Structure 1
Amino acid sequence: MDWIYAIIYGIVEGITEFLPISSTGHLILTGNFMNVPWSKEVKDAFEVVIQGGAILSVLVYYWRDFLQMRRIGTDRAQQTLWTGVLVATIPAVVLGLAFGDAIQAALFKPSVVAWALIVGGVLMWLIESRRVTPNVQAIEQIGVPRSFLIGLLQCLALVWPGFSRSASSILGGMILGLDRPTATKFSFYLGVPTLGGAALLNLVKERDLIFGEIGLVNVLLGAGVSFVVAYLAIGWLLKFVSTNNFKGFAVYRVILGIVILGLISAGVLQNGNLS
Structure 2
Amino acid sequence: MDASWLTIVLLGIVEGLTEFIPVSSTGHLVLAGELLGFRSAASATFDIVIQLGAILAVLVYYHRRFTGVLAGLARRDPAAWAFSRNVALGFVPTLIVGALAYSAIKAMLETPAIVAWALIIGGVAILVIERLVKRLTIHSVETIPPAKAVLIGLIQCLSMIPGVSRSGATIMGALSLGVERRVAAEYSFFLAVPVMLAASAKELWQVRDTLGDSAWGQIGLGFVVSFVVALAVIRGFLAIVTRHGFAPFAIYRIVVGGIALVWLAGR
Structure 1 length-normalised TM: 0.90
Residues 142-157 of structure 1 correspond to what in structure 2 (within 5 A)?
A: 142-157=144-159
Matched, 1:242 2:247: no
Partners of 1:208 and 1:56 in 2: CA distance: 25
Q: Does 1:262 align with 2:253?
A: no
Matched, 1:48 2:53: no
Within the candidate set 76, 97, 104, 2:78 is matched to: 76
CA contact 1:14–1:229 (8 Å) conserved in 2: yes
Q: Is the partner of 2:153 in helix, strand or coil? A: helix
CA change 1:210–1:16 in 2 (3 A) is farther
Q: How does 1:1-275 map to 2 (within 5 A)?
A: 2-36=4-38, 40-68=40-68, 69-73=70-74, 74-105=76-107, 109-130=111-132, 132-158=134-160, 160-212=161-213, 214-267=214-267
* Aligned equivalents of 1:246, 1:63: Cα separation in 2: 26
The separation in 1 between residues aligned to 2:186 and 2:200, in whole angstroms, is 21
SS at match of 1:210: coil
Query: Matches of 2:101 and 2:28 in 1, distance apart?
Result: 24
Aligned partners of 2:215 and 2:109: how far apart in 1?
A: 30
Partners of 1:20 and 1:166 within 8 A in 2: yes
Contact 1:55 1:227 in 2 (8 A): yes
**Closer, same or farther: CA 81–45 of 1 in aligned 2, 3 Å:** same
Q: Which amino acid in structure 2 is aligned with residue 148 of structure 1?
A: V
Q: Matched residues in 1 for 2:146 and 2:211: separation? A: 38
CA RMSD of aligned residues (A): 1.7
CA distance in 2, matches of 1:70, 1:211: 41
The Cα shift of 1:206 comes to: 2.0
Deviations 1:104-127 (A, max 9, x none): 436852222111111110110111
Residue type of the partner of 1:30? A
Which runs of 5 or more structure 2 residues have no equivalent in the other structure? none
Decide whether the 8 Å contact of 1:53 with 1:224 is kept in 2. Answer: yes
CA distance in 2, matches of 1:107, 1:223: 19
% of aligned pairs identical? Answer: 38
Q: Distance in 2 between matches of 1:149 and 1:87?
A: 9
Question: Contact conserved, 1:118 with 1:253, CA < 8 A, in 2?
Answer: yes
Deviation at 1:24, TM superposition (A): 2.2
Between the aligned partners of 1:108 and 1:31, the Cα distance in structure 2 is 10
| 1: CA distance, partners of 2:123 / 2:66 | 32
Letter of the 2:77 counterpart: D
Amino acid corresponding to residue 122 of structure 1 in structure 2: V
- Change in Cα spacing, 1:105 to 1:42, as seen in structure 2 (3 Å) is closer
Select between 135-144 and 161-170 the one with higher mean Cα deviation.
135-144
* Cα distance in 2, alignment partners of residues 45 and 106 from structure 1: 13
How far does the alpha carbon of each residue in 1:90-142 deviate from its partner, in whole angstroms, 9 at most, with x for none? 11111111122134436852222111111110110111112512101111111
Q: Distance in 2 between matches of 1:227 and 1:107?
A: 22
AA partner of residue 174 (structure 1):
L
Q: Which amino acid counterpart does residue 186 of structure 1 have in structure 2? A: Y
In structure 1, how many angstroms separate the alpha carbons of the residues matched to 2:113 and 2:232? 30
Match of 1:270 in 2: none
